[in-house]
Amino acid sequence: YNGDLEQVAFTLGVPKEGGTAAADYLCDREAKDQGLNGRWRAWVAGRDDAGTNLPAAQRFRDKGPRYDSTRTRRVFLNLTQNPTGYMPRVDGGIAIGRVWTGLNADGTGAVVTCNNWTSATADGTYGVATPDAAAQWQSSDRRACDVSYRLYCFED
**Among residues 1, 47, 49, 61, which one has the least CA distance to residue 27?**
1
Tell me which residue range forms the domain holding 104: 5-155
Q: Which residues of 32-55 are buried (b: 16+ CB within 10 A; e: fewer)?
A: eeeeeeeebbbbbbbbeeeeebbb
Work out how many domains the chain is built from and give that number: 1
Per-residue DSSP letter, 60: -
State the pLDDT at residue 6: 76
Provide the terminal-to-terminal Cα distance of the chain, rounded to the nearest Å: 21
**If you ran DSSP here, which 8-state letter would residue 88 be given?**
B
Model pLDDT, residue 100: 92
- Name, in order, each residue with C-beta under 8 angstroms of 78's C-beta and a sequence gap of 6 or more: 63, 64, 65
Mean pLDDT of the chain: 78
Measured CA to CA, the distance from residue 16 to residue 9 in angstroms comes to 8
pLDDT digits (tens, 9 = 90+) for 17-65: 678 888 898 889 888 888 888 888 898 998 877 777 788 888 887 766 5
What pLDDT does 77 receive? 52
Higher pLDDT: 52 or 146? It is 146
**pLDDT (tens digit per residue) in 97-110:** 888 999 998 888 88
The predicted model scores a pTM of: 0.80
Which phi and psi angles does 25 have, rounded to 5°?
A: -60, -45
pLDDT in tens, 64-92: 655 555 555 555 555 555 555 556 666 66
Pair 85, 78: CB distance under 8 Å: no
- pLDDT greater than 90 at residue 144: yes
**What CATH code is carried by the domain that includes residue 82?**
3.10.100.10
